[in-house]
Amino acid sequence: MMLSRYASAAVAAFVAFAIGGNTVLAEENPVVAVVNGHKIHLTDVKDAHGRLPQQYKEVPFDTIYPGLIDSLIDVRLVAADARRQKLHESQEFKDQMARIEEQILQRMALTQVMKAKVTDKQVQTRYDEASKELAGAEQIKASHILLKTEDEAKKVIEELKKGGDFAKLAKEKSTGPSASDGGSLGFFGKGQMVPAFEKAAYALKKGAFTESAIKTQFGWHVIKLDDRKKTVVPDFKEVEQNMRNELSQEAGTAYIGKLRKAADITRFDADGSAKKDSKPAAK
């Protein structure tokens, strides 16, 4: 989710090991450990599991269960000992808790905005719009030979006109990372390459190469069109989560943008001096 962009590592760690609980029947939520009289319930373990990084979530719950309980026990023991040392009364603790409080409030506010803005209907509408656009789209498969100068590119074109093998020349002369693959870039759609490259590649017929060098910020290209195909529209279930992520990001960005627009913000340089284009701080 987009929230990961706004929540710091400190929040992620805090939440991952937080000991919370859901109100459920005792028989559905058994006590799985007792630490100096404090009960740890199954829901606490499941909550901790649900907040782990994705690679750990993929581990079967039964496999990771003992480690999760150990982690929760350790958190309880260390936290209790920290309180015994009165670390919770230190200014450092209070400062960190204040930061964590703001980060959690930020996360909760963003979650609330996204739940309200990203509905099933909106996700379906986004999919339908994208499907219509993709239905008429075409992907091409192209190869290129990237050279440093136009003269080098012209020489390669002359060799190709004489029957030179494109893949072989790419391996020998291209400065691009695709050289080892004979210059192959695989299939791509419109908007995925820089404009000049894309325009030249799409204008080619299958099997043809550019008879003049194409200049981009990367250098001079000789491009060959290998194949064309219609874009396959993916099933809704395949892209649903991506659609939700996109809409969530848009909703979060709009929400923060609205807050920024309404706020009185003054920026300063690292030395504390006001930026030239900065307005005076509000008094």
Instruction: Return the SS3 of 268.
Output: strand
The sign of the dihedral angle between the CA atoms of 164, 169, 172, 175 is: positive
The answer to whether residues 17 and 97 belong to one domain is: yes
Instruction: Provide the domain limits for residue 237.
Output: 118-137+233-260
The answer to whether residues 244 and 133 belong to one domain is: yes
Query: Is 278's pLDDT higher than 80?
Result: no
User: Has residue 187 been placed in a domain?
Assistant: yes
Query: Is 280's pLDDT higher than 80?
Result: no
User: Has residue 217 been placed in a domain?
Assistant: yes
The answer to whether residues 98 and 7 belong to one domain is: yes
The answer to whether residues 209 and 145 belong to one domain is: yes
The answer to whether residues 129 and 82 belong to one domain is: no
The answer to whether residues 48 and 178 belong to one domain is: no
Measured CA distances, 266 to 16, 94, 253, 269, 275 (Å): 35, 26, 20, 10, 9
215, 150 contact by CB (below 8 A): yes
Choose one of 187, 214, 230: the last residue of a domain: 230
The answer to whether residues 144 and 209 belong to one domain is: yes
What pLDDT, in 10s, does the model give residues 12-62? 333 333 334 444 455 689 999 999 999 999 999 999 999 999 888 889 999
User: Is the model more confident about 198 or about 23?
Assistant: 198
The answer to whether residues 60 and 150 belong to one domain is: no
The answer to whether residues 207 and 131 belong to one domain is: no
Q: How far apart are CA 184 and CA 21, in angstroms?
A: 54
The answer to whether residues 181 and 213 belong to one domain is: yes
User: Has residue 269 been placed in a domain?
Assistant: no
User: Has residue 281 been placed in a domain?
Assistant: no
What pLDDT, in 10s, does the model give residues 114-146? 999 899 999 999 999 989 888 878 999 999 999
Q: How many domains does the chain have?
A: 3
Query: Is 93's pLDDT higher than 90?
Result: yes
User: Has residue 278 been placed in a domain?
Assistant: no
User: Has residue 162 been placed in a domain?
Assistant: yes
pLDDT the model gives residue 16: 38
The pTM for the full model equals: 0.56
